[in-house]
Amino acid sequence: MDEDWLSQRVRSAEASIPGGFDLSACVTERIHLLGGVQSYGTLLAVDAATGLVDTAAENTGALLGRDASELVGRPVTAVLDAADWEEAVESAVEGDSVAVAFPVTAGAEPVRSRFDLGVHRRDGLVMLEFEPREPGDTLRFAGFYQGVRRALRRLRSATTVLDCCRAAAREVRALTGYDRVVAYRFDGTDGPGEVVAEDLAEGREPWLGLWFPATDIPPQARRLYEENWIRVIADVDDPTARLLPPVRPATGEPLDLSGAALRTVSEFHLEYLRNIGVRSSMSVSLLREGRLWGLIACHGDAPTRLAPEVRSACELFGVAFSMQLAAIEERERADALARSGRDASAVAELLDADVDGSLLRHEAELRRLVDADGVLLVRGGRASGAGLAVPSELAAALGRYAARLRSGEVWATDRLGELLAEDGVDVPLTADGPAGVLMLPLSPDGDYLAWLRAERPLPRA
């Protein structure tokens, strides 16, 4: 369960807040089943086989000229031309979370208006999202392509991860006009995030270098970011348009809006945005091997609606960033492997027949292999170490972990104290003692070689 994602340290911090705050409610909230859409657009979920409307947003009357109660159970062609419905069915591929968008004229006579129609499939339904087309949009975006080309060209010229992030923040702000754009990198799949680059309007307080807790983006939100490249919140004070029916008879649950651009927003997240003075936002996912690596997060001081052309450009930018990131990290990984190989060979040349003794005589070189603060060798029940002091109870506990590992399997943790506490292991740890371990088992009996790091505090918001 997602509630198990909260570590004991997070739970303790939560309990220490005056008045209390239950983070588990945020972590377990089913944000894809909130039963509403942002009201600047509207939504119809239509059975792909019959063309009958299964679910409708309550604001269809205002935007499409036909109340939701009049649409549910009836043909979608009451508000959408048959040719456009046919194109929607053909465009939406089951299992493909990427929406297709095209312009339509829709609505019941005499209320006929221009819309951008977003289409995707979910659970056998064709999801139709109608966003009113603003007058002059076509002319306004005629030269937009040149800006997109420039942004992609600058991204491709980046040679380091940090260069990529700086280019992303700068170019996405130029494309969208938000007041603050930051590139945000996670420390591991479920870890906190660091602002590694930003571009902001004059007078804004810089966030560069700040860290934000992992609970800002709980697991279910991270899953949706991995499924959808982009997420836009037009106005934190938007009155949500609820869905009819609130619960689908076919499933006993609200309509699944995981892939909907108009999906309404969790009250937890809206409160968070209001607390930091944000009125509108956009997030672009940055993926590495299909997992969430980071985000390009955009904040506006005023309500901001982004046309599909802009969203598509930002989505393309996120895809291009992820590809560039993969290329850069692959090159850096290859360089690091070559460097590590040279360092390991240099250490190996220092060893002699007395392996234990020679390892410890050259412990400085051994620690430098992984930038460690200490090294510990346990063989035959005898522990030898250098650098950080390791209590005998901890050495024994690590031996029990080592005995569970397969030959050649590497084990590591950067939260040693939390791990021991969660496993019920009572070991005395000091503030200047080991906080992280990288361990290589040497035998099935619990012999091991371990590199140790002390806690390394970082500034975090």
Q: What pLDDT, on a 0 to 100 scale, did the predictor assign at position 371?
A: 85
Which residue reads 């499409």 in tokens?
Answer: 64
Give the per-residue pLDDT at 340: 63
Helices 308-350 and 161-176 meet at what angle, rounded to 10?
170
User: Which pLDDT score is estimated for 69?
Assistant: 97
Report the alpha-carbon distance of residue 326 to residue 320 in Å, rounded.
Answer: 10
End-to-end CA distance of the chain: 27
Predicted pLDDT at 409? 86
* Closest alpha carbon to 282 in 250, 258, 308: 308
pTM of the entire structure? 0.79
Nearest to 182 by CA among 164, 208, 203: 208
pLDDT of residue 139: 46
Q: Going from the N-terminus, what domains does the chain have, and what CATH number goes with each? A: 36-132 (3.30.450.20), 139-236+278-331 (3.30.450.40), 353-454 (3.30.450.270)
Q: Is 110 exposed, middle or buried (0-12, 13-18, 19+ CB in 10 A)?
A: exposed
Question: ω before 110 within 30° of 0 (cis)?
Answer: yes
Q: Are the C-beta atoms of residues 377 and 449 closer than 8 Å to each other?
A: yes
Quote the radius of gyration of the chain (alpha carbons, Å).
27
Instruction: Please choose, from the candidates 392, 387, 361, 385, the residue with its C-alpha nearest in 3D space to the C-alpha of residue 373.
Output: 387
pLDDT score for 1: 42
Ranges of residues in the chain whose predicted pLDDT is under 70: 1-23, 94-97, 135-145, 339-341, 343-356, 458-461
pLDDT of residue 28: 81
pLDDT digits (tens, 9 = 90+) for 438-461: 888 888 888 888 889 998 776 554
Q: How far is CA 63 from CA 75, 86, 138, in A?
A: 17, 21, 20
Q: What residue type is assigned to position 193 of the chain?
A: G
Look up residue 288 and give its amino acid.
R
Helix and strand element counts for the chain (H, E): 15, 18
Calculate ∠ Cα 61-62-68, nearest 5°.
25
